[in-house]
Amino acid sequence: MIFTSSLELLSFHWVAYTIYATIIISVIAWFGYNLTREKAKSVVRIPFYWYMAFLVAGGVGHHIFTYNTIPWVSQDIGRADIVPDATYKFEIKKHVWTLPAKKITVQCGQTIKFDVTSDDLIYGFGLFRQDGSMAMQMQVNPGSPNDILWTFHHNAVFDLDSTEYSGPHMYDHEGKNLMRIKRFLEVVGCDNGGTK
């Protein structure tokens, strides 16, 4: 199993966490009910060391699972040695983007490097689909490197936005987000299934 976009990953996460939440609420409710009963017996006996082993496996296994199923993890760790298909540089100063182009078009499967610098405050760099869902984000700190590699596997049109609060001047008085660049990046060339 490989998650090729945040939509797939977050859908899986939604289902998995909802199942977990239902189980933990039910277990404590069942536990509370049985605490008051005279003749309640243990349905299962959980040996302490097995329980601890389960927690360790859960904590470590989660990271092993995501490392092997989410492609951007290894790509992020090893990004210094990966040659991107294209590099785009961005600058931010006083809540205004200096963009590499008015609009970027990316071919399906291309790996793009986004290199962002801030001249003053801490901002963010995020790409959002037209339904509002987020594809990815990173923080943009002044004085530090802020670069990310991203491989696009699905056709989509993305808005660019700062994902970190940088003061109220990020908005106009009526609350319009001045740092949101509509329909900034478009991915083309993928088939419906999300590959070339």
Partner 1 sequence: MSFTKTLIDGTNFDHKGLNALQKVTLRAVVMAFLFYGLVAIEGMIMRLVEVGPAAKGIIPEQFFHPEHFFSIMTVHPIVGIFGSTYQLVFGAFTFLVPYLTKKPLYSVKLANFTWLSITIGTALAWIAAFAWQYAPLYTLYWPLPADTEQFSIIGGIVFIVGIALIMIGTFGFIYNIYATIFARVGVHKNKTTKELLISGFGIDGMLNLINKLRGRPPYTKEPALALPVVAIFRGTVDTFLDAVVILGAGVLVLVYLIADLGGIHLNVAAIDALLYKNFFWWGLDLVADGLVLIYVAGSWYLLATLITGQKLFMENVARAALMLELLVSWMVWSHHLLGDQGQPEMMKLISGEMVTAFELLTQGLALFITLVTLWKARPLKMTFELKYLLGGLVGFGLAVPAAIIQADMGMNRVLHNTQWIIGAHVHIALIVGLYMTLYSAVYVLWPLVTNNTELWSKKLANTHFWMHLIGGIGMGAFMGMAGLDGMMRRHLYVNGEFQTDMILAAIFGAMLLIAWAIFLFNIIMSVGVKGLVGIFLPAKDATSSYGLDPEDA
> Nearer to partner 1 by C-beta: 22 or 191?
22
Q: Segment 154-183, which members bind partner 1 (CB under 8 A)?
A: 163-177
Binders in 105-144 for partner 1, by CB under 8 A: 120-122, 124, 126, 128-129, 131-139, 141-144
Shortest distance, CB of residue 157 to partner 1, whole angstroms? 14
Would you count residue 20 as binding partner 1 (CB under 8 A)?
Answer: yes
Instruction: Give the separation between CA 123 and CA 95, rounded to whole angstroms.
Output: 8
Comparison of 111 and 189: residue with beta carbon closer to partner 1: 111
Candidates 52, 82, 86, 188: give the one binding partner 1 (CB under 8 A).
Answer: 52
Count of C-beta atoms within a 10 Å radius of residue 77: 10
81 forms part of the interface with partner 1 (CB under 8 A): no
CB of 44 to partner 1, least distance (A): 12
